[in-house]
Amino acid sequence: MNEEQRSLLLQCSSHFAPPKGVKLSYGTAGFRADATLLRSTVYRVGILAALRSLKTQSVIGLMITASHNKVSDNGVKIADPNGGMLSQQWEPFADALANASDPSELLQLIDDFVRKEGISFDNGRPAEILLGRDTRPSGKLLVDAARQGISSIIGAISHDMGVLTTPQLHWMVRARNMGIKSTEHDYFQQLSHSYKCLVELIPNGKDVSKSNDKVVVDGANGVGGDKLEVLKHLCGGLIIEVRNSSKGEGALNEGVGADFVQKEKVVPSGFSPSEIGLRCASLDGDADRLVYFLMQPDSKMIDLVDGDKMLSLFALFIKEQLNVLKDNENETPCPYHPSLGIVQTAYANGASTSYLKNLGLDIFITPTGVKYLHEKASEYDIGIYFEANGHGTILFSDRILSWLEARNSDLSSSSTESQKAVLRLLAVSKLINQAVGDALSGLLLVEAILLHTGWSIQKWNELYRDLPSRQLKVKVVDRTAVVTANAETVVVQPAGIQEAIDSETAKYRHGRCFIRPSGTEDVIRVYAEAASQEEADSLANAVAKIVDQFLGSGSSQ
């Protein structure tokens, strides 16, 4: 770093004093906190984004969002060159930057890091960053802080893309780095075009127009509903009714949205009894999560069709196409056996894992946080990953995509079953976001597959019956006191707590229970499953008490 760069960093940083007594951590999905605490953090993440861009010689994304958290919170996260999450190797540097106490400590950290990573400031292309934000009122100010962080690296350029869903920004970063069309318009075109391709490939004899009833979507009072209003007009016969867009009265994520619906299992605001029996869906505040639900008659309760059921629907469809190709191997010879992998976390309902195992699928469990699921899914030719909360996608390897493209041109004059299967898989790979879980593309894929199978949401929901479950959170003095192993299914610290959880769990029929520290909130999460709802509730409560005993005063919610 030359003198000019050093003094620019020192000078700019002096305007962004960190809040006193607050320790921030990059966590499961970037930094999150009350928005008033984040100016200096976002400024510093702006610097990090510019350094990441110099190091990778690629475009980097910076998104201002706190997803499903309350509207007064905000957050910041980085999209890497491939559109995925920030490389985990850079997370300790992100933590150190955010917590540096003054400009000279900050400069020292940057100096050491730049030297260690061999980052050059004047060889190669300048840093380039795409900025996005959700609809939170604090977003504009924080984007401004990010811009100032970026411009404290000489030559760095930022492009403010305005209000976007998180997956849109990730998609744009990936597209930019692949040298393909990358505007929001291109995003909408790609999604709607591949949706329509899938619908055109629905087997003969299925009357699409009859089964094409509407889907009613809760936009969490955020960005997702607004974008869906645009997308729906491009999707032919699909009827989407959007509730809770950001233009309404309600507050972001308050009594609405995928997180609320999945955790509380009740009808979100903005829905009335006239929706009973209809296919309903809910997005979260930045539209990277999606769940479906069915309203129960005469009650506020819902039947939840969660990420695990979406995963099952997608897995069935993909497997069906791969089976067609296998059955017609003479037409579509493949030099290898394409691998199909399913990735879940410990929060996946046990019934979904058994169902998928019975289909003969290869299942892998990772720790919570899509960065872990995504990484594992990318090891397969087709990897499908979902968190129960509705965040997930389907990844296609370059190897299978080139094979499918080649088969498609070989078979282009025929109209056989195998060609249709090839085209369907190619359309799915373009529809479903390859960068990150995306509620909008997930919704279109669900809609296309339901049309393809002719299933109602009720039929889909009956693929298997969820084991009753309960999730609680316990406030503790220090959540880092809980250390887990085996994809978070076992607690190794504090000593003795796992034994206490095990002996409690053993009292319940089909009991399963685990705890872990949240990466986004200051709590310990408790998850319990058992044969009945009463038993699941009772197990979760008993284990919450154990957490309280081992980890000091707190309250469960």
* Binders in 54-73 for Zn ion, by CB under 5 A: 67
State yes or no: residue 286 binds Zn ion (CB under 5 A): yes
* Binders in 341-360 for ligand NG1, by CB under 6 A: 347
User: Closest CB to Zn ion among 53 and 67?
Assistant: 67
Shortest separation between residue 345's beta carbon and Zn ion, angstroms: 15
* Binders in 184-243 for Zn ion, by CB under 5 A: none
* Binders in 386-405 for ligand NG1, by CB under 6 A: 387, 389, 391
Choose among Zn ion, ligand NG1, none what residue 284 binds, the Cβ cut-off being 5 to 8 Å by kind: Zn ion
How far is residue 388's CA from residue 514's CA, in Å, rounded to a whole number? 15
Contacting range for ligand NG1; rule: CB under 6 A; set: 40-48, 50-58, 513-521, 529-537: 513-521
Question: Residues near 156 by Cβ (< 8 Å), separated by ≥ 6?
Answer: 50, 53, 126, 127, 128, 129, 150
Shortest separation between residue 65's beta carbon and ligand NG1, angstroms: 10
- Which amino acid does the sequence have at 297? P
State yes or no: residue 70 binds ligand NG1 (CB under 6 A): no
381 is in an annotated binding site: no
Interface characters, 265-284, with Zn ion (x: CB under 5 A): -------------------x
User: Closest CB to ligand NG1 among 202 and 310?
Assistant: 310
CA dihedral 96, 100, 105, 111 (to 10 degrees): 30
* Binders in 92-131 for Zn ion, by CB under 5 A: none
DSSP letters along 380-409, please?
SSEEEEE-TTS-EEEEE-HHHHHHHHHHHH
State yes or no: residue 520 binds Zn ion (CB under 5 A): no
**Catalytic site includes residue 67:** yes
65 is in an annotated binding site: no
User: Closest CB to ligand NG1 among 174 and 525?
Assistant: 525
From the candidates 67, 245, 282, 538, give the one annotated as an active-site residue: 67
State yes or no: residue 65 binds ligand NG1 (CB under 6 A): no
Q: Are 232 and 281 in contact (CB under 8 A)?
A: no
- Helix ranges restricted to H, 122-275: 139-151, 166-178, 184-200, 208-211, 223-232, 258-264
DSSP letters along 285-331, please?
TTS--EEEEEEPTTSSBEEEE-HHHHHHHHHHHHHHHHHHHHHTTTT
Which strand ranges, in their side-by-side order, compose the sheet holding 382-386? Answer: 362-366, 340-345, 382-386, 392-396
How far is residue 471's CA from residue 527's CA, in Å, rounded to a whole number? 5
Choose among Zn ion, ligand NG1, none what residue 296 binds, the Cβ cut-off being 5 to 8 Å by kind: none
288 is in an annotated binding site: yes
Parallel, antiparallel or unpaired: strands 469-475 and 523-529: antiparallel
354 is in an annotated binding site: no
Q: Are 187 and 156 in contact (CB under 8 A)?
A: no
User: Closest CB to Zn ion among 67 and 418?
Assistant: 67
How far is residue 30's CA from residue 85's CA, in Å, rounded to a whole number? 9
State yes or no: residue 518 binds ligand NG1 (CB under 6 A): yes
Q: Are 312 and 429 in contact (CB under 8 A)?
A: no
Active-site residue list = 67
Contact positions vs ligand NG1 (CB under 6 A): 28-29, 67, 347, 368-369, 387, 389, 391, 518-521, 525
Binding residues (CB under 5 A) for Zn ion: these are: 67, 284, 286, 288
